[in-house]
Amino acid sequence: MKIRDGQGKWLLRQVLYQYVPQSLIDRPKMGFGVPIDHWLRGPLKDWAENLLSPETFARHNLLRYAPVQQKWKEHLSGKANWQYFLWDVLMLHAWADKNT
């Protein structure tokens, strides 16, 4: 019932065809973007600034503060979008806070 004629989730598809247009079901998987850049400038700004503080950099001593701080300022001003770089730094510091 799960696979028929090489197509997976056959039974689920049969049920969905009754309620959802077939073109929405029989299409390739599609990802979606997460608005990290906006979140870092908005609701996550205080959290990010705490993790990007000189004290956090000194406490963990994993990265150099100045280059990250420069990218943070550029991101906040809208001059550049460093969302992925900054997110990696934030996750590293959040992990280090939890595990050291």
- How does pLDDT run across 86-98, given as a tens digit for each residue? 999 999 999 999 9
**Cα(33)–Cα(30) distance, rounded to whole angstroms?**
10
pLDDT digits (tens, 9 = 90+) for 47-79: 999 999 999 999 999 999 999 999 999 999 999
For residue 31, give the H/E element and its range: none
Whether 90 contacts 61, CB under 8 Å: no
What percentage of the chain reaches a pLDDT higher than 70?
99
Would you state the pLDDT for residue 8?
85
Q: Is residue 1 predicted with pLDDT exceeding 80?
A: no
pLDDT class of 7 with cuts at 50, 70, 90: confident
pLDDT digits (tens, 9 = 90+) for 44-55: 999 999 999 999
Report the chain's mean pLDDT, rounded to a whole number. Answer: 94
